[in-house]
Amino acid sequence: MGNPYKPFEKQLGYRFRRRRHLEQALTHPSFRHETPDVEADNQRLEFLGDAVLNLVTAAWLYEHRPDDEEGRLTQIRSRVTSTEALGEIGSDIGVGGYLRLGRGELIAGGARRTGTLADAFEAVLGAAFVDGGLKAVQKIFKRLIVPRIEKLRLNYASDNPKGILQELCQRRWGQTPHYRKIAEQGPPHARIFVCEALAGERSLGIGEGPNRKLAEMRAAAEAVHRLERGE
């Protein structure tokens, strides 16, 4: 008998040694309630997966973000492990197509519901931990979540780039960044400001915008991105 989960395991980057663990992770409570011979659903695995995911995420951030303080690490971890983020991953890898759902849940669109997909993905992580230990979870994490951390990181930088740049500059050089206007161009009704972010005389980034405030924010965002890339 073939393995119906083979394409899904390929998406995960992990092959289960005991298929029953994955099958349980993909069994929604509604299916168990409607199917007398099914004794377990994915809720306990979801609980385990949530805890393991938080541990693996925290350990990865601690190792790969040595310059970040606790508050920023916590915020990144919260975004990485949010229902929205996990539901998106679940959708991308096709969890919904493998979920065993009760008839009512299926009709109600449970296979596409963000919360359901997020819960199932956490359950899959829990099942991977039971099946192959922490290394199994880390394989899935590296394949599916690490690439998204950089994207989330860049989005975070755009939330408050001037504040983040100030933290980085004070930590690295003991200086507060400052900004200067280096150009103002265009007709009066459509002015474009160009500003530069600096630490002392060190140029960190340049940005432009329809007003000085926005130009400075974009210069700060560019500076944050460059510093985080090691430039």
- Residues designated as active site: 50, 122
Are the beta carbons of 28 and 105 closer than 8 angstroms?
A: yes
